[in-house]
A and B are shown apart, each in its own frame.
Chain A
Amino acid sequence: MGAAVLPILFFTSLWAAVGIGGSIITPHGPQRQLIQCILMLTAGCCWLFWLCCYMAQMNPLIGPRLSRRAIQIIADSWNMPIKEG
């Protein structure tokens, strides 16, 4: 479908807040640099991981191959009614 603005903005800002904002507000102490490093690395890795997953799905080249049973089940439980006809 392509990239939607909201999830990208949300997650980028989330991990930016954790990584950059969190590093700024860590209290001064002997472990400050350790905590800053941890926060930035965590934010970087997790954001990149989410981004790869999102980008892999935003322009899918193949679609799922479902059994008829599966289609009937999700029609019911996921509220995806099968078209008439």
Chain B
Amino acid sequence: MGDMFRSEKMALVQLYVQPEAAYASIAELGEMGCVQFRDLNDQVNAFQRRYVSEVRRCDEMERRVRYIEGQLRKDDIKMPHLSAEQEPAAPNPREIIDLEAQLEKTENELHEMSSNSASLNANFRHMQELKSVLENTEGFFSSQEIMNLDSNRPMESDDPAALQSAAQRGQLSFVAGVIKLERFFSFERMLWRISRGNIFLRRNDISGLCEDDEAGHPVLKTVFVAFFQGEQLKQRIKKVCVGYHAEVYPCPSSAAERADMIKDVNMRIEDLKMVINQSADHRNRVLSTAAKHLARWTIMVKKMKAIYHTLNYFNPDVTGKCLIGEGWVPVRDLPTVQQALARGAKISESSIPAFMNVISTNEQPPTFTRTNKFTSGFQNLIDSYGMASYREVNPALYTCITFPFLFAVMFGDMGHALVLIAFAAFLIIKERQLASIKEEIFTIFFGGRYIILLMGLFSLYTGLIYNDVFSKSINIFGSGWQNQYNTSTVIDHSTPYLTMRPKISNFKTYPVGVDPIWQLADNKIIFLNTFKMKLSIIFGVFHMIFGVCMSVVNFIHYKKYASIILEFVPQVLFLLLLFGYMVFMMFFKWATYNDNSTDQSLSPGCAPSILILFINMMLFGHQEPLDGCKEYMFEGQDMIQTVFVIVAVICIPWMLLGKPLYIKATRPKQLPAPNHAAAPSGGHGHGHGDNEPMSEVYIQQAIHTIEYVLSTISHTASYLRLWALSLAHAQLSEVLWNMVFSNGFGFSDYTGCIAVFIVFGAWSVLTVGILVLIEGLSAFLHTLRLHWVEFMSKFYEGAGYAFAPFSFKQVLEDGGEN
């Protein structure tokens, strides 16, 4: 059967590869992406596997790649983005060695450059601080008295008298340095305390922020000079300086020496600047070269790691000469796998080619449905509810149309549909460019672009039928109602409203959709309500019958033919005889009762309420008809209804007991020891193991029966949400027009022009925001619920698991998300 009808047939294969060819073969299979490998070594610890050293190598390379990437990001260098065609293949062993060497070299270079630049920068900072100390202490030493007190002045002679007198005078020493401004004040206090006030501290702030120091960001610093007397104090002061992280610089007191030193420092600063610039250039060059290759390296390392992880799943065989692996492959892809293995063997020039062996198994294979970009959106919707069991009928095929259609029944408005179509068309036409945006909410809308397009197209059609364009109707074919009143009646003020009688006013049926006159009518909602409610029930019943019929397909495929008679027939009879009959009554009432008929019992006054008829049918009740009317719509309805109800009631014990009795009759006499054969394919509902006790079977079936019977009623009523949402949508649209847009028409001439322009802005924002976005999301959600619960509960098992093939595309995508 076709692609989407049910999931694909899967085969369990064993692969025999030579160890030399293993790497290349797995690389080829990874490119193809059609095998899901099974872990044959899952009891083995990760550290004891065969290829653990290779995985470690890969980890080391990955770490290096990450480090280089970090350095690139720090320097704001962009990496070129690789398109799908430019992606490199997994590296072969020769390339691996080259790659490792390159990565190591680049990483070491970067490390070296970082440490060099750190020390260069520290040096540079010191030079600058020294320079500022020398410049800022000009003021301190220029005053004469300080010069006299200066103890650092070189002694002129060894004149003992001079020495003595100098000692008697008390030699003032000083300490010059740089400290952070915020610390200066407590520094000053500390010095004051330890020197007991015998210290003279001058400071001069450095203008502008200084270079980053240990804090990492620029800070305010200040130059200080502390004058004091005595050697002990000097030691204490030096200790305090160390404690406050103040840098002490040797500063000569004489002006000449200072000038020399300044010149010297300036020269060294220039030299350092040149060296720093050159090393920055060098670093830039290294990083740019690395940036060109980094994208390819990342991909190659990721692919390598994935291959070795997969190789770890393989088992060496008894002889040790080849590796055995197991995996699931879709049957259609078996030739592809063969070719990939052949290519792998050729690349690695192995003498013995790898081969593949299909083995049969009782295990449930994974579920895989091949989808294209159109159907993948719908398949995702279904898979979100539950992955289909293996080879179960796939509801996504029908969801392609029923989902947008039921959405459209709730959303029917041509104007809003055009907005949806425009949005979806934009997303589809610009598919390629938009595919690379990774922002989450956008990807959700982008992934559903075909769904949105179909929803818009169907909404256009239902909008045409509901005759609703932004709450206005279009009159294409001419209304079928004509005015029956004459001028005097119309002008008469005492009757604000005039009702048209169908017999007189209605001369034709509007061919496509709702007659445009209803938009102007005061009792529009009464008419639309009856129409939309009946419409919802009709579609609901058909949708549910379709769902029940799907279960037959499942029964036939799983060869449970007895279930067709024991489960399907009573279910569909119950649904058809009760709710199908109600749908028939709706069509019958539409066709027979009209205002033109001569028979009084067929006039509108006598038209019975279908709901009342249905309730009386179920309860075998009767209702007194009005004068001239009949209770029933046609001859023999009484009899038919009784028969239907009785047969439907018989269906209930049929559903309840049929299957358990059948299982009891066909189950062979059980031996006491239960066999632990793997449960046959089939989920909780339909596949009971042979070991289940009969009480379980009865209870299960009772639950199913009660669930089904109640669900026929509740789900049928649930479809009335189609009516409810469509009513809400139409009313909201009308409110927006009447309360927002109409205000713009109250003005005339140029003011009117501007008023309409502004009001249109408000109206369109509200329309798109409330009616398209919010109502759209709401209708989407309700349609999804209708499909998941009302439709799929009739036949869907959903007990499968997804097929997750080993594919490089998936590996790279997952890596890109992290």
Chain A contact residues, CB within 8 Å of chain B: 1-4, 6-7, 10-11, 30-34, 37-38, 41-42, 45-46, 48-50, 52-68, 70-75, 78, 80-85
Given contacts A62-B604, A82-B486, 9 further A-B pairs with CB under 8 A are: A2-B596, A34-B2, A48-B539, A50-B513, A53-B531, A58-B590, A59-B502, A81-B483, A83-B487
For A31, list chain B residues within 8 Å (CB): 3, 372
Judge whether A4 and B520 touch: CB under 8 Å. Answer: no
For A77, the closest partner residue in chain B by CB is: B475
Whole-angstrom distance from the CB of A39 to the nearest CB of chain B? 9
Question: Once bound together, how far apart are the Cα atoms of A62 and B496, in whole Å?
Answer: 18
Size of interface on B: residues with Cβ below 8 Å to A: 76
Most buried by A among B501, B508, B530, B607: B508
| Contact residue among B3, B372, B375, B401 (Cβ-Cβ distance under 8 Å from A41) | B401
Judge whether B402 and A57 touch: CB under 8 Å. Answer: no
Top 3 nearest A-B pairs by Cβ distance? A33-B2, A64-B521, A59-B594
Find residues 446-490 in chain B having any chain A CB closer than 8 Å to their own CB.
461-462, 465, 475, 478-483, 485-488, 490
Chain B contact residues, CB within 8 Å of chain A: 1-5, 372, 375, 397-398, 400-402, 405, 409, 461-462, 465, 475, 478-483, 485-488, 490-492, 495-502, 505-515, 517-518, 520-524, 526-527, 530-531, 534-535, 538-539, 542, 587, 590-596, 604, 607
Most buried by A among B483, B507, B514, B522: B483
Number of inter-chain CB pairs below 8 Å: 199
For A30, the closest partner residue in chain B by CB is: B3
Judge whether A74 and B520 touch: CB under 8 Å. Answer: yes
Judge whether B520 and A75 touch: CB under 8 Å. Answer: no
For A64, list chain B residues within 8 Å (CB): 481, 499-500, 517-518, 520-524, 527
Given A33-B5, A57-B509: A85 and B487 within 8 A (CB)?
Answer: yes
For B498, list chain A residues within 8 Å (CB): 65-66, 68, 71
Given A34-B4, A65-B522, A66-B497: A82 and B485 within 8 A (CB)?
Answer: yes
Question: Once bound together, how far apart are the Cα atoms of A40 and B2, in whole Å?
Answer: 15
Judge whether A74 and B517 touch: CB under 8 Å. Answer: yes
Given A1-B506, A65-B498, A78-B479: A56 and B531 within 8 A (CB)?
Answer: yes
Whole-angstrom distance from the CB of B106 to the nearest CB of chain A? 47
For B398, list chain A residues within 8 Å (CB): 37, 41
For B5, list chain A residues within 8 Å (CB): 33
Whole-angstrom distance from the CB of B543 to the nearest CB of chain A? 10
Question: Once bound together, how far apart are the Cα atoms of A11 and B593, in whole Å?
Answer: 23
Judge whether A52 and B534 touch: CB under 8 Å. Answer: yes
Judge whether A61 and B591 touch: CB under 8 Å. Answer: no
Given A7-B509, A57-B514, A71-B490: A62 and B526 within 8 A (CB)?
Answer: yes
Given A65-B522, A67-B496: A78 and B475 within 8 A (CB)?
Answer: yes
| Contact residue among A3, A48, A74 (Cβ-Cβ distance under 8 Å from B542) | A48
| Contact residue among A34, A57, A82 (Cβ-Cβ distance under 8 Å from B510) | A57
Given A61-B593, A62-B526, A65-B498: A80 and B531 within 8 A (CB)?
Answer: no
| Contact residue among B401, B479, B483, B515 (Cβ-Cβ distance under 8 Å from A42) | B401
Question: Once bound together, how far apart are the Cα atoms of A21 and B499, in whole Å?
Answer: 45
Judge whether B1 and A68 touch: CB under 8 Å. Answer: no
Judge whether A50 and B512 touch: CB under 8 Å. Answer: yes
| Contact residue among A11, A45, A62, A83 (Cβ-Cβ distance under 8 Å from B483) | A83
Whole-angstrom distance from the CB of B553 to the nearest CB of chain A? 13
Whole-angstrom distance from the CB of B156 to the nearest CB of chain A? 107
Whole-angstrom distance from the CB of B374 to the nearest CB of chain A? 9
Question: Once bound together, how far apart are the Cα atoms of A6 and B106, in whole Å?
Answer: 81
For B465, list chain A residues within 8 Å (CB): 49-50, 53
| Contact residue among B461, B487, B499 (Cβ-Cβ distance under 8 Å from A63) | B499
| Contact residue among A4, A38, A42, A72 (Cβ-Cβ distance under 8 Å from B509) | A4
Question: Once bound together, how far apart are the Cα atoms of A52 and B539, in whole Å?
Answer: 10
Most buried by A among B462, B490, B491, B501: B490
Judge whether B487 and A55 touch: CB under 8 Å. Answer: no
Whole-angstrom distance from the CB of B812 to the nearest CB of chain A? 27
Whole-angstrom distance from the CB of B521 to the nearest CB of chain A? 3
Judge whether B500 and A63 touch: CB under 8 Å. Answer: yes
Question: Once bound together, how far apart are the Cα atoms of A57 and B397, in whole Å?
Answer: 34
- Could you give 17 example pairs across A and B, Cβ below 8 Å? A1-B509, A34-B4, A50-B513, A52-B534, A53-B535, A60-B594, A61-B604, A64-B518, A64-B521, A64-B527, A67-B496, A68-B492, A71-B485, A71-B498, A82-B485, A82-B486, A85-B486
Whole-angstrom distance from the CB of A49 to the nearest CB of chain B? 6
Whole-angstrom distance from the CB of B92 to the nearest CB of chain A? 35
Judge whether A78 and B409 touch: CB under 8 Å. Answer: no
For B592, list chain A residues within 8 Å (CB): 59
Question: Once bound together, how far apart are the Cα atoms of A80 and B517, in whole Å?
Answer: 12
Judge whether A66 and B461 touch: CB under 8 Å. Answer: no
For B505, list chain A residues within 8 Å (CB): 63
Whole-angstrom distance from the CB of A15 to the nearest CB of chain B? 11
For B595, list chain A residues within 8 Å (CB): 59-61
Question: Once bound together, how far apart are the Cα atoms of A68 and B498, in whole Å?
Answer: 7
For A73, list chain B residues within 8 Å (CB): 520
For A45, list chain B residues within 8 Å (CB): 401-402, 405
Judge whether B485 and A83 touch: CB under 8 Å. Answer: yes
For A70, list chain B residues within 8 Å (CB): 520-521
Given A7-B511, A55-B590: A80 and B483 within 8 A (CB)?
Answer: yes
Question: Once bound together, how far apart are the Cα atoms of A67 and B485, in whole Å?
Answer: 12
Given A2-B596, A74-B520: A63 and B400 within 8 A (CB)?
Answer: no
Whole-angstrom distance from the CB of A54 to the nearest CB of chain B? 6
Judge whether A59 and B591 touch: CB under 8 Å. Answer: yes
Whole-angstrom distance from the CB of A19 to the nearest CB of chain B? 11
Question: Once bound together, how far apart are the Cα atoms of A73 and B480, in whole Å?
Answer: 16
Judge whether B402 and A34 touch: CB under 8 Å. Answer: no
Most buried by B among A30, A53, A55, A68: A53
Question: Once bound together, how far apart are the Cα atoms of A63 and B409, in whole Å?
Answer: 24
Judge whether B501 and A63 touch: CB under 8 Å. Answer: yes
Judge whether A71 and B3 touch: CB under 8 Å. Answer: no
For B513, the closest partner residue in chain A by CB is: A53
Whole-angstrom distance from the CB of B509 to the nearest CB of chain A? 5
Question: Once bound together, how far apart are the Cα atoms of A62 and B523, in whole Å?
Answer: 9
Judge whether A2 and B594 touch: CB under 8 Å. Answer: yes
Question: Once bound together, how far apart are the Cα atoms of A53 and B397, in whole Å?
Answer: 27
| Contact residue among A57, A62, A68, A85 (Cβ-Cβ distance under 8 Å from B515) | A57
Question: Once bound together, how far apart are the Cα atoms of A34 and B47, in whole Å?
Answer: 49
Whole-angstrom distance from the CB of B743 to the nearest CB of chain A? 19
For A46, list chain B residues within 8 Å (CB): 405, 461
For B593, list chain A residues within 8 Å (CB): 59, 61
For B539, list chain A residues within 8 Å (CB): 48-49
For B538, list chain A residues within 8 Å (CB): 48, 52
Whole-angstrom distance from the CB of A46 to the nearest CB of chain B? 6
Question: Once bound together, how far apart are the Cα atoms of A54 and B535, in whole Å?
Answer: 11
Question: Once bound together, how far apart are the Cα atoms of A32 and B514, in whole Å?
Answer: 35
Given A57-B510, A59-B591: A52 and B535 within 8 A (CB)?
Answer: yes
